[in-house]
Structure 1
Amino acid sequence: MISFGETFQVLSKFEASNLFCTNAKLGLHTDLPYFAYSPNIQLLHCIKQASNGGENQFCDGYKVAEDIRHIDPEVFRILTTIPVDFREWGTDYKEYHYKHRSPIIQLLPNGRFKAISYNDQVRAPYIQIPVQDVYKVYRAIKIFNTELYKHENKIEIKMVEGDIVSFANQRVLHGRSSFTVTETNERHLECAYIDWDEACSRMRVIREKMLNQKPL
Structure 2
Amino acid sequence: MKLRAPTSGRRGGVTPPGRRGGFTLPGRRGGFTLIEILLALGVLLIGMTSVLGLLAFGAAMSRAAALRGESAAAAEAVFADLEERMFPLIVEEGVERVGEPIEVEASPVPGYEGLTYSARAEPDPQLATELGYPLEYKVEVELSWTSGGRRRSRTYTTLMVREVPYGERLRRQFIERDQPKPPVKADAPKPEK
Q: Which TM bucket (shorter chain)?
A: under 0.3
Larger relative contact order, structure 1 or 2 (CA cutoff 8 Å, min sep 6): 1
* Larger Rg over CA atoms: 2
Which structure has greater strand proportion? 1
TM-score of the two chains, using structure 2 as the length reference: 0.22
TM-score, length basis structure 1: 0.20
